[in-house]
Amino acid sequence: MSEPAGRAEARTVTVTGTGTAEAAPDLLTLAIGVECRRDYAGDAYAAAGGASAAVTGALRTRGVESRDIRTSGLNVRADVVWQEGLGQQVTGYVASSMLSVRLLDLAAGSGIIAAAVEAGGNDVRLDGLQLGFADAAAVMALAREAAWTDARAAASQLAALAGAELGEVASVRQHPVPSAPVPVGGMERAFAAGSMTVEAGESGVSTSVTVEWELRSGTGTPPGP
């Protein structure tokens, strides 16, 4: 079936713009592990619970709110070795857990880490630190504006090259780039946490938008080659 006479398909231009917004991180997330090895499973479990309680107690003493401390990954497993002629032999039991701690006071970060390590002793592992944003939406909004500006500039140029002007926006699609907090490094053991400093620096959040504009006839002619 043919289109009705006089009905022409609308001309459009579609452009993808990208944008990045940088800001100083204001959130520090700690991954603090507790791991205890004992001859019996019950003893390992109790020791891990005691070490974890000591660490959380030190965190609260330093002003960390209970809502910013989360326990996960509780595990008790047998520690086994292979012996010739006997197969796998149980040599003890290991109990472990993980604490995820959110700190909004970055300046106090190094002191809080040192206190947690001191409280847990040799049973503590500092598995990683991550810097991020307490209000990531505000930073993403700035990145989105930058992406829109980038897309419109490119679309305006293409429209001019075609001897047209940008009309109404026909569609908009956002393609956020996954932006995990910036890792600051991890350690198996954290004996020297007292001498460690946390520098926030700046971090960026990126996104992209694909925008389709209608084209309307321009007043001039397209530039030559």
List the domains of the chain with CATH numbers. Answer: 9-25+134-184+201-225 (3.30.110.170), 27-132 (3.30.70.2970)
What secondary structure letter does DSSP report for 67? Answer: G
* Closest to 206 in 3D by CA, of 117, 138, 146: 146
pTM more than 0.85: no
CA distance 108 to 135: 20
Mean pLDDT over the full length of the chain:
83
Residue type, 207: T
**pLDDT tens-digit map of 83-115:** 787 778 888 999 999 999 999 888 888 889 999
**pLDDT tens-digit map of 65-82:** 999 999 988 899 998 888
Q: What is the structure's pLDDT at 196?
A: 54
